Structure 1
Amino acid sequence: MYKSFYLAIYILLSNIIFIACVSHKDEHLNNSDEIFILHLDTLLGSNPELACTEIDSILSSDVHNDQFYSLLMIKSKAKLFLSEYDSVFILLDSIERYCNKISEENTPYRLLSSVNNMWGNLYARRSVMDSAVIYFQKAYDYSSKLGLSHDLIDITINLADANVRSGKFDQGSFWYRRSLSISDTLMLPENRRFPSYYGLAQVYMDLRDYDKCDFYYNLAGRYFDDMLPFEKHIYLNNRGNSYYYRGEYDKAMDYFRESLQLANKYPDMEFERKFTKVNMGEVFMLMNETDSATAYLEECYSFFKSIDHTSALYYIETQLIELALKKGNISVASKIIRDAVQPDFIEPNMLHIRNKYLQHYYAESGDYKKAYYYQQNNAHIDDSIRNERIKMRSAEISLRYRQDSTLMKKEMSIKEKEGQVLVLHQWISILVLAILLFISISGMFIIYRKRRFDKRIWNMQTDISTLRLENIRNRISPHFIFNVLNREMVRYTNEDDKSCLVNLSKLIRKNLELTGNLSISLNDELDFVKTYITLQEQTLGEDFHYEVNISDDVICEDTYLPSMLIQIPVENSIKHALKVKKGKKCLWINVNKNDAGVEIVIVDNGGGYKPVSSSRGTGTGLKVITQTIQLLNMYNKEQIVMKISNVMTDENETGCEIRYSVPEHYKYNISK
């Protein structure tokens, strides 16, 4: 349903009224001018057309001063009420050109704030939300230069709504709460804060958090009788929206009917009446009252077509698609989809509804591929809403912490003042006792300050000692080791010895590079393993033989596996089996492609795996591999499988085989 856009329309109108027109007048306006502007301000909410007529009757084309453009500003607001967008554009452009001509030292911040706020309202009503946010931010910056004011509250509400309609719910919540914070500072009464409350209710409605949604709607509902007609309209329509999203259509319809009755009392609320009827048309459709739905939607389509409101037309066409499907007219639905309008900006809620109905259309048409596509799009939108809900909860926790801290500071300040009053009373009644108490408190304070100072000195000394020790440790760094090895290599003339040092240096450097990495490419792992084996060959003797076989369909650079997956079994095989074996010593490393991904097999002929053997070591390496695989498997649907078994080699010798099966699209990022 076209919910968040509808709220924006009403918040827009709310701010037009709330921004006191008198704040935009020039300082030279006399009392009669102020009374007349207040009179126009009242007319805006009840009869905007009459307000335009009265402004035109007193505007002089010869005198173009601040008073003249302040009246043009009021006229632009009236034109926005009447949905005459071209006139609004012309008036705002004229006011902006006037402001740009004024020298920098006489910058009319109030007029600039107002004109940028109106630009934002105009773009928000046309659903060009990026531009709306930019202009509202400019309005906020200009208004901030004049200090805290009621104008600033209304601009923050506009900025909040624009962010909500853009899908930035955390930013929207921030600006609504900012408006409440300014209201607290200005000591604005509670019955003037309901726009912020039902704005927050809208945020939580979009996030489907209905408990908090109802909480803020109930706060706003306390002041329903104090609301102006269009403010009541906001409350009723959006309260109905909240029940629509819950699927409680009867309750939603009750609120929409009450909203329509209210709008019917005011002839100038034609725009609002039509939007309410659009909402009612959709609910009728969902309640399978297709005749009523058709009448309402077609009536509203004609109206929004006449004012060229593409966002509203896009939404109504969305409902007409589903309505045609409910009537079994797939050809009508196809025509609507083919000729549909395309707004520049589509809100997430509207897109979600459109995707749902397009999914239904393609399912009915037998194009299940496209039906699945739109189903997946909605799944992504739902995921985004869940992410926004998490961000909102984090922001609320942060805000609550700041509020609690502020409250604590205030309580501490109050208690401090109470203590001062008590001391003053004691001074008056018992002067000597007060002096002694003062001396005692002063002495305790001095001791406390001295202890704090001594503690800071001690902490500084500890930090210095720690840094000195750290500096000493850092002097013997890996770079130092490499420099010594390189220097020693220069002294060796024997190429075999020199090669051994080169490989050792390479092994140490590679080990440092891979420290802390959960994954490594197959190419890097095999390179590391080959370097290690080369260093161990001298100790194993001439009877040692190893092979590394990689099938042609395995791309080593693009294949990743857990770090040390091959190195640890190879190291265990050499240290605990082959070194102590007499005769021929063999080690095979085979990497092949299978249906699941890559299969890695490490085999030796060292007598097989004996868990209780004294030559088997502590088993720490295998524990590292096992725990690493278990950890990574928790974050993957397809899991790495590890198998250790004893096998017979071709020469009838018992050997140990470690076999890994690594899925092709295995992920190594651990998310919290």
Structure 2
Amino acid sequence: MEKLNVFLFLCISFFMLSLLPGCLVRGTEGRHEPYANLMAGLESNTSERPGEVCAAVDSLLPSVKDSVSYYSLLVLKAKSKLFLAEFDSSEVLLRMAGSFCSRDSSDARVRDLYANVYNMQGNLYGRFAVYDSAVWAFEKAYRCASHAGASEPLLNISLNLADAYIRTGRLDLGSYWYNYALSMADSIRMEEKKRFPIYYGLAQVNMELRDFGTCDYYYDLAAAYFDEMQPYEKHVYLNNRGNSYYYRQDYPKALEYFRRSLALTNSHPEMEFERNLTMVNLGEVFMLMNQTDSASCYLDRCRRFFMENKNLSALYYIDTQMIELALKQGNTSRARHLLSLTKDTEGVELNMIRIRNRYLQHYFEAVGNWRNAYEYQKLNWEIDDSVRNERIKMRSAEIALKYKRDSTLMKQELFIEQKENQVLSLYQWLWGIIVGVLLLGCGALALVFHRKRQREMEQTRLHTAITSLRLENIRNRISPHFIFNLLNREMNLRGDESKNRNLMNLTKLLRRNLELTDKLAVTLADELDFVNTYVALERSALGSDFEFVQEVDSKILPDKVLLPAMMLQIPVENAIKHGLRMKEGKKWLKISLKRRDDVIVMKVCDNGGGYRNRSANRGTGTGMKVITQTIQLLNFYNRRPIVMGITNLQVDDDGTMGCEVKYEVPLDYSYTLKKME
């Protein structure tokens, strides 16, 4: 399963890298976005899966042509090596990246990379407890990042710088940089859940000053977002909070946090450094609780690790504890031997020196050398005085920082007041413009209503004119009823019904045509009856090879469905007149009516050779123009339109072409000439 996860991780990394060449040819703004996404994805996994990140970087490096991207991946690998406690490899990679950056630091991307290199070097120095060098590296990182102006990297470097100052005993500067980071988080409106490193950093400052009330306040703020932390950040929180109870001599409570830290690091095998650091703390707490066997077990295990990594500060601290452990076991000779191993205190934290002095005082008391015991006690008094001085400096620094904030705030308020006056003047102009626009809008609205009223009056006038023309047309024609009566009388005189069938159909056709003349819409049943009558009249002229098919979906109720008058009759008439009448051989005409949801799909299809624009039999097209214009008019008054299409297609296996006229009519289609709201 672990191998599968690594494989998937590498596949995703290769996919993201494949986007890089394509983005290099685009504009400058989005040029490095896929690369930035790739780096962010890899970096988010460095603390949890450093081994996989190293493998991903190794597989990506041969494909990277851009030098900055190449060395950025090396720095990312160095960070992963740091989490794997492979400090030598991390140092070599950082030296390579630093050498590249020193050649040309004018490019903004190179400056960002340089800041990252210095920041990682500071972290590496911190692992070896060389805190003066760490401060130097973090200050260089801050200066490089300041040129770029990116707030979040500056905030992270400020946190590292604050922690390094605390490790060197400069609590005032440590407090300053933590408060500075908090101000920066306010300025960029950082989410509260991302501020926990600042909170447990401020808790660390107050722990060093033994202000445990304020210390717990900040730790509680950080604890609210414990689930949001990365494993390494959880370790820092648990370890430092355990130390706060250690300094209060509440050893059971300290033991609780150190055990949680050990459980965390055991669940992440790559956190070897953090695991051994936790065992140092566990060893001392067990020793102070007089559980010497457990203390000896933990101290022996972690001493081997720090011996291999040559971490002198950690060894100094462990040997200090083992001196006290030997005294508790009554083994003064072992205590004397351990005392002779480490004497140089350069680069050792002030707290470790104070603890060692206390244990040395115990040792000399045990061997009866009261003078030396008093000397070490006096040294601790001097350290305590130094801590009190640091507390005073820190308070002074906080006051100075507060004054600086207040001055900045006052300048901002004056600036805001000036801008408010400018905005007030702008508002006056704006209100004038708004009033002018409203007046223009009212005028435009009045003009629109006036024109709309004119259009309605014009429409009424046209309807009146059309009605008058129709009445005049009726007056100027011979009465159709006279013609129908005369035809019926002649058919009755002949008597033979079979011979008079065509005359009867013609009479029916003429009568229905007259009835439909003034109707905009008819039922589907009436339209089909009209079409069937027309086809019956034409059947004899088309011959015995003619076949007429009519398919009506059982879901359709012809008496309930409305459609524009002559919608089916005109395509049928065109098919017979312009396609089938002149065709030799088999000819057919098909009407298909199907329901699809709330739409009726109507098709009129023939095998008459298809619509030919230049054919001699194509006709004038008047009928289809009438249908098209009728549909366009009706669609204007409906939300859902009638859709019409005319297509030539192959209709028989022998390649015969035909024409298909298709309509899609919604069931809720309205035939009222009134615009719907």
> TM-score, normalised on structure 2?
0.56
- Partners of 1:107 and 1:196 lie apart in 2 by 27
Q: 1:223 to 1:410 in 2, by over 3 A?
A: farther
What pairs with 1:28-67 in structure 2 (closer than 5 Å)?
28=24, 32-60=34-62, 65-67=67-69
Decide which of 188, 191, 197 is 1:195's aligned counterpart: 197
- Work out whether 1:179 is the aligned partner of 2:181: yes
The amino acid of 1:384's aligned partner reads S
Q: Secondary structure of the residue that 2:257 maps to in structure 1?
A: helix
Q: Tell me which of 137, 147, 166 is aligned to 2:139.
A: 137
List per-residue Cα deviations over 1:346-375 (Å, max 9, x = no partner): 110000000000111011111112111111
Structure 1 residues 50 and 106 mapped into 2: Cα distance closer, same or farther (>3 Å)?
closer
Q: Does the C-alpha gap of structure 1 residues 63 and 209 become closer, same or farther in structure 2, counting only changes over 3 Å?
A: same
Q: Please tell me whether the aligned partners of residues 313 and 341 of structure 1 are also in contact (alpha carbons under 8 angstroms).
A: no
The change in CA–CA distance for 1:35 and 1:418 in structure 2 (over 3 A counts) is: closer
Out of 243, 246, 249, the position equivalent to 1:247 is 249
Q: CA deviation at 1:60?
A: 2.6
- Select between 407-416 and 319-328 the one with higher mean Cα deviation: 407-416
1:109 and 2:85 matched: no
CA contact (8 A) 2:255 2:282 kept: yes
CA distance in 1, matches of 2:115, 2:430: 55
Given that 1:128 and 1:344 are in contact with CA atoms closer than 8 Å, whether structure 2 keeps it comes out as no
Q: Determine the C-alpha separation between the residues in 2 that align with 1:32 and 1:421.
A: 41
Q: How does 1:511-522 map to 2 (within 5 A)?
A: none
Q: CA deviation at 1:417?
A: 6.9
* Residue 84 (str. 1) matches residue 86 (str. 2): yes
Structure 1 residue 102: deviation in Å? Answer: 2.5
Q: How does 1:146-545 map to 2 (within 5 A)?
A: 146-340=148-342, 342=344, 344-407=346-409
Gaps of 5+ in 1: 1-21, 431-672
1:409 Cα deviation from its structure 2 partner: 5.7
Q: Which amino acid aligns with 1:295?
A: C
* Pair 1:399–1:98, CA change in 2 (3 A): closer
Task: State whether residues 176 and 398 of structure 2, in contact with CA within 8 Å, keep that contact through their aligned partners in structure 1.
Answer: no
The one-letter amino acid of 2:202's match is: L
Identify the range of structure 1 (222-231 vs 294-303) with the bigger mean alpha-carbon deviation.
222-231
8 Å contact kept, 2:151–2:188:
yes
- Secondary structure, in 3 states, of the residue corresponding to 1:44? coil
Structure 2, unaligned runs of 5 or more: 1-16, 25-30, 433-677
Letter in 2 for 1:198: Y
How far 1:426 moved relative to its partner? Answer: 9.3
Q: Judging changes above 3 Å, is the alpha-carbon distance between structure 1 residues 370 and 60 closer, same or farther for their aligned structure 2 residues?
A: same
By how many angstroms is 1:215 displaced? 2.0
Shift of 1:389: 0.9
After TM superposition, give the deviation of residue 244 of structure 1 in Å: 0.8
| Residues 395 and 104 (structure 1), Cα distance of their counterparts in 2 relative to 1, 3 Å cut | closer
Spell out, residue by residue over 1:81-136, the C-alpha distance to the aligned partner (whole angstroms, 9 max, x if none). 11112111211111122122237577821111111111111112111122111111
Alignment partners' CA distance in 2, 1:123 and 1:160:
14
Match of 2:660 in 1: none
Residues 529-558 of structure 1 show CA distances to partners (whole Å, capped at 9, x for unaligned) of xxxxxxxxxxxxxxxxxxxxxxxxxxxxxx
CA distance, structure 2, for counterparts of residue 369 and residue 352 of structure 1: 18
Which amino acid counterpart does residue 237 of structure 2 have in structure 1?
Answer: Y
Q: Distance in 2 between matches of 1:184 and 1:84?
A: 37
| Equivalent AA in structure 1 for residue 78 of structure 2 | S
Deviations 1:393-449 (A, max 9, x none): 22223333443455556567667777887898899999xxxxxxxxxxxxxxxxxxx
Say if 1:425 and 1:139 are closer, same or farther in 2 by CA, change over 3 A.
Answer: closer
Change (3 A) 1:178 1:106: closer
CA contact (8 A) 1:161 1:172 kept: yes
**Identity among equivalent pairs (%):** 51
Distance in structure 2 (CA, Å) of the matches to 1:59 and 1:359: 56
- The alpha-carbon distance between structure 1 residues 37 and 315, as it changes in their structure 2 partners (threshold 3 A), is same
Name the count of aligned residue pairs. 409
- Checking the alignment, whether the CA contact within 8 Å between 1:274 and 1:300 is kept in structure 2 is yes
Task: Measure, in 2, the Cα distance between the counterparts of 1:148 and 1:164.
Answer: 25
Measured after TM superposition, the shift of residue 151 of structure 1 is 0.7
Distance in 2 between residues matched to 1:351 and 1:212, nearest whole Å: 25
**Could you say what secondary structure the match of 1:43 adopts?**
coil
Alpha-carbon distance, 1:36 to partner: 3.1
Aligned AA (1:284) = F
8 Å Cα contact 1:201/1:217 also seen in 2:
yes
Alignment partners' CA distance in 1, 2:430 and 2:74? 64
Q: Which sits farther off after the overlay, 37-46 or 26-35?
A: 26-35
* 2:525 paired residue number: none
Cα deviation digits, residues 635-672 of structure 1 (max 9, x gap): xxxxxxxxxxxxxxxxxxxxxxxxxxxxxxxxxxxxxx
Distance in 2, matches of 1:274 and 1:47, equals 19
Distance 2:296 2:332 in 1: 16
- SS of equivalent residue, structure 1 residue 59: helix
Distance (Å, rounded) in 2 between the aligned partners of 1:400 and 1:186: 19
> Are the counterparts in 2 of residues 204 and 210 from structure 1 also a CA contact under 8 Å?
yes
Partner of 1:543: none
Question: Which residue of structure 2 aligns with residue 558 of structure 1?
Answer: none
Task: Write out per-residue CA displacement over residues 423-477 of structure 1, whole angstroms, 9 at most, x where no aligned residue.
Answer: 98899999xxxxxxxxxxxxxxxxxxxxxxxxxxxxxxxxxxxxxxxxxxxxxxx
Q: Counterpart of 1:283 in structure 2: which amino acid?
A: V
Distance 1:56 1:418, change over 3 A: closer
- The 3 A distance-change label for structure 1 pair 386 and 106 is closer
Q: What secondary structure sits across from 2:47 in the alignment?
A: helix
Per-residue deviation at 1:232?
Answer: 1.6
Partner secondary structure for residue 305 of structure 1: helix
Change (3 A) 1:201 1:105: closer
Q: Aligned pair in 2 of structure 1 residues 410, 32: CA closer, same or farther (>3 Å)?
A: closer
CA gap 1:133/1:222 in 2 versus in 1, 3 angstroms: same
For residues 431 and 134 of structure 2, the distance between their equivalents in structure 1, rounded to whole angstroms, comes to: 65
Partner letter of residue 204 of structure 2? Q
Structure 1 residue identity aligned to 2:227: D
**Structure 1 residues 374 and 62, CA, compared in 2 at 3 Å: closer, same or farther?**
same
Equivalence for 1:490? none
Paired with 1:363 and 1:320, the residues of 2 have a C-alpha distance of: 17
In structure 2, what is the Cα distance between the partners aligned to 1:352 and 1:175? 25
CA RMSD of aligned residues (A): 3.0
Secondary structure of 1:145 counterpart: helix
> In structure 2, what residue type is equivalent to 1:289?
Q
User: Relative to structure 1, is the Cα distance of residues 420 and 225 closer, same or farther in structure 2, using a 3 angstrom cutoff?
Assistant: same
- Conserved 8 A contact 1:359-1:375: yes
Contact 1:148 1:186 in 2 (8 A): no
User: Structure 1's 428 and 313: CA in aligned 2 closer, same or farther, altered over 3 A?
Assistant: closer
Counterparts of 2:408 and 2:37, CA distance in 1: 41
Q: How far apart, CA to CA, are the structure 2 residues paired with 1:393 and 1:34?
A: 41
Aligned residue type for 1:377: L
Distance 1:83 1:184 in 2: 34
Kindly provide the CA deviation profile for residues 151-207 of structure 1, in whole angstroms up to 9, marking residues without a partner as x: 111111111111111111111111111112222222211211111111111111111
